[in-house]
Structure formats: structure tokens, C-alpha cells
Structure 1
Amino acid sequence: MNLSFDTTTLREGYLSGKFTVSDIIREVLARIEAGDSKIWICVDTADRLLAQAKEIEEKDPNSLPLYGIPFAVKDNIDVAKLPTTAACPDYRYFADEDATVVAQLRAAGAIPIGKTNLDQFATGLVGVRSPYGIPGNAFDPQYIPGGSSSGSAVSVALGQVSFSLGTDTAGSGRVPACFNNLVGLKPSRGLLSSTGLVPACKSLDCISIFALNAFDAQAALRVAASYDPSDAYSRPNPLSLESPRRAYRDGMTFGVPSPEQLQFFGDENYLNLYLQSIARLEALGFKKQVIDFSPFLAAARLLYEGPWVAERYWAIQDLIKDAPEALHPVTRAIIEKGIDGTAVDAFDATYKLQAFRQETLSLWESVDFLATPTAGTHYTIEQLEADPIQLNSNLGYYTNFMNLLDLSSVAVPTGFTPKKMPFGITLIAPAFHDEKLLSIAHKLQLASELRMGATEHQRFEPVLPAQWDSAPIAVCGAHMSGLPLNHQLTELGATFQRSTSTSPRYRLYALPGTNPPKPGMVRDESNGAAIELELWNLPQSQWAAFISQIPSPLGIGNIELSDGSFVKGFLCEQWATSQAEEVSAHRSWREYLRARS
């Protein structure tokens, strides 16, 4: 089966009946079996995977945003009933529950296939520091795959899965994307929950997403991103879902480092490809501005030269004390240094970092995003093993500052060297501008006209996918999936995004005399409750048609979600509730209907 696993192709096949979820799971397992065994540390059993496929097949493909989409999980992120090793056999344990992000993706219809290889304890940008072997680079196994999320990247590039989860503390979600011709999304810190993640640097860690294209990365992000009160570092997105700051607009200005601040470590091919990429952005209508990159570089040096290495030591302190021989020699050499710092060193570095943050803030008043190389060069395994510490450090030149300065970023493939090895650039913006960067990445991918990953497939749309021309609407009653008026959404091309709830500031009423029965929701600051909602992506061209069907006393207003963000959705005029039965105690229109029946 020579089939692309990008999400659009799979969705079209499911809707047309060309194949089933079970067919795709069997093909996934066949591709994994025929491929490099060092990509995966653990693959779930065929019986369990096919059982999940059968459960999904019983549902409407339109009801789940990631219906039947196979994905891989880096083996420092928990998947229920599978072992988590962080590429250290002595650390191995079986997870009782999915990590929060995995659970959200699974609820949206995606199927976690198994756990992928990595640089041990997510320490490295190279992909060669694992007792489970070195996953071969998708284009040439003599070259490093990039790390630490090596297996996650290679599995997507070879078309074994549609997307994968990695992590990114210092560049682990971007460097492997560059070296395997993928989109690598490093989300804003705290946007994706870290519950169920083995920490590297707990205050900086991000779960990242590898995908064949920017649209697939965006589809996974929209499902996975939500505030998680169980994660002390989780943050609600302060930008509303329909904010124009989340999307592409014409006339954006981008910053590039001054020529003397660029570093390619003698690699003329990467230099030329970077210049071509910048020229392509300008040809697309973006305006270039040279910036001073020095505060970013200074911040980057703090990551491994400062006290943040102590966080890596904290994360595995019992293991490194009791069984230091269990660690890869290079990993151990890096992490052991974390014990040497003092509290004074930590505060000194914190003060320096805050100064760098302040210095970079004014930059964002004149540019919308930065465009840097993702990496300055690409090493062979032989080169890397001859000088593992320094060459790894070189690969972090454009990545190590990102989480320290609280930025969002997307790695985008843009070309190939004469040796047919991939190159890409990274788009950078302040935190919570992830979707804006993805929309820019999409335009750049179209212009670059590259195949997806190491597959033979290309899929280039003449316009932005419909999901980028849509805005979410929150529904709390008869328009929810499976209820009588849901067809008014689906007939206009709306697609389900996710289930959620309001903030605890709303009251729900059963409106009398409505057919079919409808609720009315009003805001009450002092006596409210959290009410169940569904978010649906409605094409912007269809909003007028949808709103015209809404009868009085209902209307569309701003609704506060449980994570503190706001979205357009159904509200009711206060006067209509005077003769209505309050059903807030049920916290859900569905639950009220069940109780009444």
C-alpha cells in the first residue's frame, strides 16, 4: 500500500470508504516490521491496536478530529499499559495512565502505536546516545538523525505514522525535524500539559509535535493544547481562539541575525540554503529586517553553562547516585555536572537571563517573527562520535535560547543540499503565537515544493486548508454532537474540535416551549457553575448562514472557557430565564436530558 499517511489523505480515505482504521493499523505495523528496529523501543500489540481501531470504526468520522490517525510517542512520555524507559533500561516502569496529551489525542480518535527511541533522558541534540541503538537518519544512515527525539522524527519521515510526540527543552523538537525534512512544532511553554512526562528540565520542558506538514501539526496542536491544573507549569492561552494574532496576515516583517552573527561551522551548503530560504520569504511578501542576535546567543549559553543542568540532575538524582553505570557515558558526564553549582550561581544566572529577556522585548515591536537556520550544519555519526560534546553544542546554536526566553517556534523544511540531505529554517515568535507561525510555515512549505519527509508524496494546496479559514464556536445544547440540531453545523462544513467546559460563571436553563428542547445559558459571576461545551470549527464564510438560523432569545456572545480564554458561543437573553427551569446542577444539557428521560 503506497499511501501517504498525512491526515488529509487518511481522512479522505475514511470518509470515502476506501479503507478502514483497521486497514491502516495493519499497514502501520507492516511498515514498522519492515523498517529499522532501532526507531522504536516498544510497539503496542496488534490485538490491542486493532481493538482500538474497531472502537473508532463504530463512530462517525466527522465526530472525531483525528479519527483513526496513527501517531508515535517519544519514550519519555507515558502511554497506558506500555513501559516508559527514557532510553534507560534500569529506569523502566509501566505507566498506569496516559500522559495528559496522549489521553487528549486518543479521545480525539488518534491511536498511539508505541514508544520511540531517544537520546537518553532527552539529553542531546544528536540521536546517538541510546542503549537501544541509533535510529538511521531517514535520508542517509551515515548522518545523525538528530535528537533527542530521534525515533519520533524518523518514524514520521519514513511514513510509519502520521505525526509524533517529541519533547523540546533545548532543540529536541526542531533539530530532528530539520535533519529528516519535517515540520517540528515547539509549542509555547505550558501550552501542552507535561503531566506524564519524564522531566529533563522541569521548568523548561515542552512536549513537541513532528508532522509531515504544518496543517497536520496544527490539527494535533488544537486537540492537545489545553490548560491542565495538575501540571504546575501549565498555562492557559491568553489569546482567544479567533484572535488575529494567532494567524497569518499580509505584510509581516521578519528578523534575521546580522551576517557576522550567523554560524554555519564551515558548511557552505547550509549557508546557501539559508539565504535561499530568506529570499523565498521575501518573495512571498514578507519584509526582512536585520536584528541584533547577541542577547539570544547569550541566553543560549546559560542553558548548559548555567544552573539549569541541575534540573537534569534533580530529575534522575536517585538513579545517578545509586546506579551511575546505568547511564550512557556522555549523558552521565553532562548531568553529573549539575551537582556542582551553588544557589548563588542559580540566582546569578537568573538575573542575567531576566536582563536578556528585557533586552529582547523591544524587538517584537518591530518584527512579527524571526527566521533563523534550525541548525548550522549536519554531522555524520563518525564526526559526532569523535567530538560528542562540542558538536552537540554547535547544534544548539540556534535553539538553546528558546524556552529560556519563553518563545514559540516552528521548524520548517525548505531545501536539500547537493548530497540530498535536508535543510530547514525555524520561525520564532513570542509565546502563544504558535498558530501564527504554523500558518506562515504552511505558506513557506507550499513555496518550497518539497516532498513530505522521506516519502514519495507531495500534497500542496493552492490555498490555506479550510481549517485555517474557520473559527471555533461553542455550543451547549441542541447543536452538540448526536443532538437534533447538530446537522445545522455539519451541513455548513463545521468540524468537531473538542469537548470542554465554561469557567464556573454560568447558569443553564431549560427554555419552555422550544422544539426541539433547547437550553439558555447566562453568565452569573457569583452563583455560576462550569457547563459542558463542545467547540466546533465553523468556516468563516458560513457564519452568517449559521447565525441566521438562531431564534430569539438565543444569540452569539463571548464565553469564558475553563482555561480562562474566550470563544464565541451560544448565550441567552436574561429575560427569557424568568419562566424557565434552572438545570445548572446537571452541569450539562445532555445530563439534564438523560435525567428527564
Structure 2
Amino acid sequence: MTTRPHALPVTIADWLAAYRDGAQAHALIPALAAQLDAGDPAWILRCDAAHLQAQLDRLAALQRQGHVLPLAGVPFAVKDNIDVAGLPTTAACPDFERRPDRHASVVQRLLDAGAILMGKTNLDQFATGLVGTRSPHGAVPCTLDPTRISGGSSSGSASVVARGLVPFALGTDTAGSGRVPAGFNHLVGLKPTPGRVGMNGVLPACRTLDVVSVFALTVADAAQVMAIIEGDDGGPVFHAAVPRPAWLGRQGQPLRVGVPAELSALDAALGYPQAWGAALARLATLSPTAAGDSPAWAGEGVTIVPVDMAPFDAVAALLYDGPWVAERHSVVRTLMDQQPEALDPTVRQVIERARDFDATAAFEARYQLAALARRTEAVWQDMDVLLVPTAPTHPTLAEVAAEPVRRNSALGRYTNFVNLLGLAALAVPAGETPSGLPFGVTWVAPGGSDAALAMLGACWQLAAPPGRQPAGAGLPAPAPDALRPLQLPASAPTMALAVVGAHLQGMPLHGQLVERGARLLARTRTAPRYRLHALPGTVPPKPGLARVADDETGHAIEVEVHEIALDQIGSFLALIPPPLGLGTIELADGRQVKGFICEPAALRGAPDVSRFGGWRGYMAAAGGSQAPAPLHTAPPPAAGLTPQALDLPSTHAELPALFEAYEAALMANDIAALTGFFWDDERVTRYGIADRQWGATALAAWRAGVPSPDFSRRLQHLRLLGLGADVAVIQVEFLRSDSVLRGFQTQVWARLAGQGWKIAAAHVSMIEWTPFPD
């Protein structure tokens, strides 16, 4: 089988970095295709040169049109039960072949994001199995030990990612098919909440349980792909995905990690108990802020909660010992009736059990599932997340050939219950057994917790001991920066909420936000149209924010903008006492967000503390003792201030060279250099031709998805206005080789202590303009 292609990128982050450094998709993609082995059992179909060229031509057209393509030129593969227009879908059964005339919705979304499909991968026939051996195209072996199985049914998708042939691949998961192969090949397997990803164009195994899953080398890469493919596509929905906040846990308390209380199923001969013990030891090293955010349990550590898995085991048994097997039969009934020999013998044996169940049995099983789900809900009251071994053992190909059903059944011990209960799961590498076999664990959380699991999974990967971050079949360990997700699967529908007083970070009531999964978006200020008053007699001390009339003097007041789930607003509002409430306030950049306001009557006689810039400044000045004398009236006009000199020679001497360096970095798409030119703060702003970004985080995420420009720029009429020694405005006009419009670029530069000149705000526009001589 093909191993990692020589000198080609590995992760999504690597591929995007290569393109930023000047590599071209029309060169890398054919080079990758040339190294794919026609005899590799992981592939059922590899895209030919014409198909790849058509994709590359479409990518180039999208780039010329200015589309934002977060996966521009990144190769991927899909399991052969997922439709690709014009290519056969066989589900590893040649006699079942169909040729769809449209892409599955997940494939369409990836192609629209600029990704390049390399081919379709092998699977346990009709996605029935966890072993990866039930296919006429041959068994797919484990990439780290070819005597053992790869896991299934998404065997081929896992194999091509583990060997570095593509940075990600799509699988499907009904009983663990997106998790078991991840555990056996040192991969991340992201299995979303059922109902989260549209399933149009995906051949069902069990239509009411199936999900599309993602294989990748890092949680960050898997999360980026999931953020692109998720969402309704108009098809049937059998599970209502209930979004949850982006963090698990409770304010000021340890993260409660449930683990199986009884683990006799772990294969002692393979060293699985020791590998599991090492995984539990890693829990103590989890750093929740490592992935770039602050959850409720930050600083509180982890508590391990032993869990009785009996109700989960009873749910798992329903999948193959109950009438859900009839769903598999509904897909292949005609083929089984007319050509039973077309099916793999073991697959046919499994699906034929559907004839043992009738409609009464189906309803009885639904009632049993509902009762068991209630029992598991009680277990969830004692834990925030469940951690299990991804599989209890790792059989050889020979062992599976000798006992195909029994060996397969054992592998679903910790996976089969998940989709039946509507849960989310994330399989991650967890080192090796004493004998050197790959070992993986799976995080499981309530449905809708996909974003929270991605953040937790990123923390897990970042907590790996130095040099012991396994990645596929001996691939280079990803750099720490590549493990921090910039994109996440959507969590709960949210809104921006500005807080001004006791709910600021570090203030007494901030925990009310954290308990509701809120996260900080930005520290900024209001528009200069407000005054801040210290409300007497409030405990803890609170301010009142009031907008002034147009003819009154206002101030820009410090606020924090937090993202909070819409379904948490009601309980938060119930905690707000009069005279405070929530209304609309205007921020310094002109945006309007919801935030704290105050009844006008409560402001009569309340000291005006606006001169401190915000509540934090006022409380710091108060120092916990006698507060400074507040101003009850607006400060006097600034008539006595000394005017600052404009256009100082030092400013004109320094900035033109910096701007020329910026322009060179822009045209070279040098991400590191461009990032260095901008203010590293959540208050930095950029207004582009067709987009806008607020804050350094959003700017970095946007820039990472911008391809290298395929045009040139000619600058004209550079104008520089120095506003004192530390602030300047630069404006330049430009002509682009691909447009008849004239461009205008304006930047505000500020000299920052210890950092030098940085861009604090930027604006770019292109408009029709009457030509004039240079």
C-alpha cells in the first residue's frame, strides 16, 4: 500500500501553509495523484486526471471571483456510500452500483470550500461491520500493524488519512464506524450529534441513526471540516439536534469525567488495561485554557466519576439484537431477494436477521429504548462528559476471518449505544499499548455538545507528553499551534452581550456568565454617547449606563462583549435586579449589541463616574475604601489642551518603508508577516471589499483561508498624515490587473510601547472612478 507521498503536506494546516508559501494546487494535486497505488485496498475509486483537472479549473474560477475558500486546494476522500456526481456509488457491492447526477450535500459543501476530491474509499459492505474486512475489494489492514484489522466500516477513509495520502476523509458512523478505525490508526474521529449534518446523498445503513463522520490527524482539522459540512440540507431529520454551550462543566467546580466502573472487557493480553491507565493519568494534565478559551472548570481540575455502564450496554444490545437491523434490510431488500449471492456472506447473515422482527417488535424496542434513555439521563446528572476506550481489543485479520460475527460484536462495546441515545462523540489517539499497538479513547457528551467536545479534544491533544503525540502511521507530530482549533462546529445559537460592571471578568458576578457557557469575544468601548453612574446601595456594587442626548457630552465606556447561547438569556435575565435590564447599546465601531441599561429614575443623584473610563477603572481607583469624588457634571471642554504637531519628520521617515514592506507581504500572501503588521488585540478592525473582521482572532482566521492573489497591484498617490508622534493615517490608491475599478486603501497606524508601529484599523474599497493622469 502507498505510504506518505514524498515531500507533500500532511494536515490541512500544512496544505494551507504550503499554498501561502507559493505552492500551486495545479502542481501538488497531480503529484499526489501520481503516487496513489492502483492496487491499494483502501481505494475503491481514484479520480482520474480529467476529473481532477475539472476540479482544479473550478477552484481557479472561484478564486478569480473572490470567493472565500477555507479549504482551497486541500485534497480529501469520501467513503463509497457517499454520492459524488458522475462517479459510481457501490457501498462495496458492485452489483448495487448507481451513478448519481448530483453530489451529496456534504461533498458539495466541501467542493464549494475549495477542497479537491481524490477518490472514494473501501468499506465493510453496506457499512455493516466494525472490522474493515467485509468487502470484495479486499480487507484493509491496520496502518501500524498489517496483521491486524483497520477497523470499519469506514476502513478505507481511515487508512488514507493515517498514511498521509489526504489530510482528511469522510466516513459514516452508525455503530462506531467513524470511531473504531480512528482508534486503530492513531486518528481523530469526529462523530457529530445525529441530525447535525444533512444526509442527502448518503446511502443509509440505518437511516434513523446514521451520521457523516470526519477522520483527521488533529481535532482542529476535524473541527474545521465539520464546521463546513454541518447544517440542514432539507432532507429527513430523525433527531432534533439541541445545540449546547461551547464548554462543558460547571462554574467553579472540577470537570466531572465519567469512566466505566468495570473494565473486564479490556484485552489484558494486548496491554489494554495499562494503556487505559495511562490515559486516565493524562486527565490530570488537561489545561482547559490551552485551546484558547476559559471554560467553567478552568483552574478547578478534573474529577473522575466511576459509572455503571449497564444501561448503556443494554442500549447497545438493541442495535444488532433488535429490530434496527430491519433498517439495513430496507436498503438492500430487492438485491437480497433477487441476487443474494451479491452480498458478502457475513453481511448477508447479519441483515437476514431482519426477518425475525415484525412491526410489534419494532415498537416494543422503541419503548425499551425510551426507558433505557431515562436511566442514562440519571447517570448524566453525575458527570459532564464520559470517557471510554474506543475499543476493548484489536483483533488480527486471521481472528476475524475465523469468527467474523463474534469478533465484530466485541468491538462495539463502547460505541453501539451512542447514536441510539442521540449523543456526540470524539475519538482521539491515546498513545500505545505496552506491545506497541495503537490505543485510542473516545469522549462522549450529550447531543449538541459538538463544539464542547472539539475544545476538550484539542485540550487532550495538547496535553500529550512531548514527542508522544501519535499521528497516523508514523507521520510527523503536529505542531502545538496546529492543534488549536480556529473553527468549531456550531454550538448553541448565540447573541453578543455587552457587560459594563459587576459581570466583567474578575468582577463578582462574572460567574453568572460562565455558568451559562458564555465566552469573551472582545474588550472594547461604547460609542462616545454614554455616561456611567455608580448606583448607591447595590450589593455587589453596580453601575448604571445611560445614553445621553445628542446635544450632551458623552463618553466611550469600557465594556466586554461576550457570546452567550440564546437559550441561556432567560435564566440570565431573571438574575438581573432593578433598576437594571437588557437593551441595545452602541459600540465604538458602530455595531449595536444587547447590553446592560438602567432605569432613568435610578440615575438621579447617582454619582457620574464616567471620567474613569469604565467600572473597572472606577473600582480600581476606589481601592476598596473611600471611592474618589465622582463628577456629577460633564467635564469642562478641552479648550486649554495644547494642539499636537502634525506631520512630524520622524513619522514621514519611518512609515513609508513599513508600508512598502506591508504591500510586499500582502502580494506574497505572507501570513506571518501580515499578522505582525497588525495590532494583536480584539479591538483591531478591518473592512474589506466584501468582508469585515473585528478582532485579531477573527482576522487571523480569515487570513488563513485567503489564497495567494492571482493579480498584481499598482499603487498610486500615497498620502500620509501624521497625527502627532504616535498616530498616522495612510491612504493609497491602487489599480488591480483583474479589475477596471479603482481601489482605495486607508490604514490607521499607531506606535505602541515596546511594539513599534502597528495597523489598528484598515479599510479597502474598489469603486468606479474617472481616470486621471498619474
TM-score normalized by the length of structure 2: 0.59
* 1:344 Cα deviation after fit: 2.0
Quote the residue 2:152 is aligned against: 147
Confirm or deny: 8 A CA contact 2:88 2:100 kept in the other structure: yes
- d(CA) in 2 for partners of 1:394, 1:150: 17
* 1:227 Cα deviation after fit: 1.4
1:86-235 equivalences under 5 Å are 86-233=91-238, 235=240
Quote the residue 2:266 is aligned against: 264
Summarize the Cα distance change of 1:218–1:389 in structure 2 as closer, same or farther, 3 Å threshold.
same
Q: SS at the partner of 1:425?
A: strand
Quote the residue 2:417 is aligned against: 401
Confirm or deny: 8 A CA contact 2:105 2:199 kept in the other structure: yes
* 1:362 Cα deviation after fit: 2.5
1:437-452 equivalences under 5 Å are 437-448=453-464, 449-452=468-471
- d(CA) in 1 for partners of 2:124, 2:252: 40
Quote the residue 1:29 is aligned against: 33
Say if 2:484 is the partner of 1:465: yes
Quote the residue 1:356 is aligned against: 372
1:229-248 equivalences under 5 Å are 229-233=234-238, 235=240, 238-239=243-244, 243-245=245-247
Confirm or deny: 8 A CA contact 1:228 1:234 kept in the other structure: no
- d(CA) in 2 for partners of 1:77, 1:247: 36
Confirm or deny: 8 A CA contact 1:63 1:495 kept in the other structure: no
Q: Letter of the aligned partner of 2:34 in structure 1?
A: A
Quote the residue 2:340 is aligned against: 324
* 1:461 Cα deviation after fit: 1.3
Q: Letter of the aligned partner of 1:328 in structure 2?
A: D
* 1:251 Cα deviation after fit: 5.5
Q: SS at the partner of 1:114?
A: strand
1:17-96 equivalences under 5 Å are 17=22, 19-33=23-37, 37-57=40-60, 60=63, 63-96=68-101
- d(CA) in 1 for partners of 2:382, 2:201: 39
Confirm or deny: 8 A CA contact 1:446 1:460 kept in the other structure: no
Cα-Cα RMSD = 2.7
* 1:130 Cα deviation after fit: 0.2
Confirm or deny: 8 A CA contact 1:74 1:118 kept in the other structure: yes
Q: SS at the partner of 1:288?
A: strand
Summarize the Cα distance change of 1:338–1:452 in structure 2 as closer, same or farther, 3 Å threshold.
same
Say if 2:249 is the partner of 1:275: no
Say if 2:15 is the partner of 1:10: yes
- d(CA) in 1 for partners of 2:485, 2:146: 37
* 1:132 Cα deviation after fit: 0.7
Q: SS at the partner of 2:206?
A: coil
TM-score normalized by the length of structure 1: 0.76
* Aligned counterpart in structure 2 of residue 309 of structure 1, from 309, 325, 336: 325
Deviations along 1:71-112, whole A, 9 cap, x unmatched?
110000101111000000100111211101111111111112
Summarize the Cα distance change of 1:283–1:177 in structure 2 as closer, same or farther, 3 Å threshold.
same
Summarize the Cα distance change of 1:262–1:248 in structure 2 as closer, same or farther, 3 Å threshold.
farther
- d(CA) in 1 for partners of 2:57, 2:151: 35
Confirm or deny: 8 A CA contact 2:272 2:392 kept in the other structure: yes
Deviations along 1:225-274, whole A, 9 cap, x unmatched?
011222343756534xxx44479999653444444355114445111111
- d(CA) in 2 for partners of 1:174, 1:188: 13
Give unpaired runs (5+ residues) of structure 1. Answer: 472-481, 499-544, 546-597
Task: Name whichever of 76-85 and 41-50 sits farther off.
Answer: 41-50
- d(CA) in 2 for partners of 1:76, 1:247: 37
Quote the residue 1:509 is aligned against: none
- d(CA) in 2 for partners of 1:171, 1:383: 20
* 1:164 Cα deviation after fit: 0.5
- d(CA) in 2 for partners of 1:457, 1:281: 24
Q: Letter of the aligned partner of 2:51 in structure 1?
A: R
Confirm or deny: 8 A CA contact 1:64 1:497 kept in the other structure: no
- d(CA) in 1 for partners of 2:174, 2:323: 14
Confirm or deny: 8 A CA contact 2:248 2:384 kept in the other structure: no
Q: SS at the partner of 1:185?
A: strand
Confirm or deny: 8 A CA contact 2:274 2:434 kept in the other structure: no
Task: Name whichever of 325-334 and 341-350 sits farther off.
Answer: 341-350
Confirm or deny: 8 A CA contact 1:195 1:230 kept in the other structure: yes
If you compute each CA radius of gyration, which structure gives the higher value, 1 or 2?
2
Aligned residue pairs, count: 484
Summarize the Cα distance change of 1:305–1:97 in structure 2 as closer, same or farther, 3 Å threshold.
same
* 1:434 Cα deviation after fit: 1.1
- d(CA) in 2 for partners of 1:411, 1:367: 19
Confirm or deny: 8 A CA contact 2:451 2:488 kept in the other structure: no
Seq. identity, %: 41
- d(CA) in 1 for partners of 2:486, 2:407: 40
* 1:121 Cα deviation after fit: 0.4
Confirm or deny: 8 A CA contact 1:261 1:294 kept in the other structure: no
1:519-558 equivalences under 5 Å are none
Q: Letter of the aligned partner of 2:47 in structure 1?
A: D
- d(CA) in 2 for partners of 1:483, 1:59: 21
Q: Letter of the aligned partner of 2:361 in structure 1?
A: D
Summarize the Cα distance change of 1:37–1:462 in structure 2 as closer, same or farther, 3 Å threshold.
closer
Say if 2:693 is the partner of 1:489: yes
Quote the residue 1:291 is aligned against: 307
Quote the residue 1:456 is aligned against: 475
Task: Name whichever of 335-344 and 256-265 sits farther off.
Answer: 256-265
Summarize the Cα distance change of 1:36–1:252 in structure 2 as closer, same or farther, 3 Å threshold.
farther
- d(CA) in 1 for partners of 2:489, 2:250: 13
More helix by share: 1
Confirm or deny: 8 A CA contact 1:248 1:440 kept in the other structure: no
- d(CA) in 1 for partners of 2:342, 2:387: 40
Say if 2:421 is the partner of 1:374: no
Q: SS at the partner of 1:304?
A: helix
* Aligned counterpart in structure 2 of residue 253 of structure 1, from 243, 251, 255: 255
* 1:485 Cα deviation after fit: 4.6
Higher relative contact order (CA 8 A, sep 6+): 1
Task: Name whichever of 416-425 and 149-158 sits farther off.
Answer: 416-425
Task: Name whichever of 309-318 and 460-469 sits farther off.
Answer: 460-469
Q: Letter of the aligned partner of 1:172 in structure 2?
A: S
- d(CA) in 2 for partners of 1:25, 1:221: 23
Summarize the Cα distance change of 1:176–1:353 in structure 2 as closer, same or farther, 3 Å threshold.
same
Q: SS at the partner of 1:437?
A: helix
Confirm or deny: 8 A CA contact 2:227 2:489 kept in the other structure: no
- d(CA) in 2 for partners of 1:260, 1:487: 53
Confirm or deny: 8 A CA contact 1:101 1:193 kept in the other structure: yes
Say if 2:339 is the partner of 1:336: no
* 1:159 Cα deviation after fit: 0.6
Deviations along 1:351-370, whole A, 9 cap, x unmatched?
11111111111232332110
- d(CA) in 1 for partners of 2:482, 2:94: 47
- d(CA) in 1 for partners of 2:279, 2:304: 12
Summarize the Cα distance change of 1:59–1:372 in structure 2 as closer, same or farther, 3 Å threshold.
same
- d(CA) in 1 for partners of 2:695, 2:220: 23
Confirm or deny: 8 A CA contact 1:374 1:398 kept in the other structure: yes
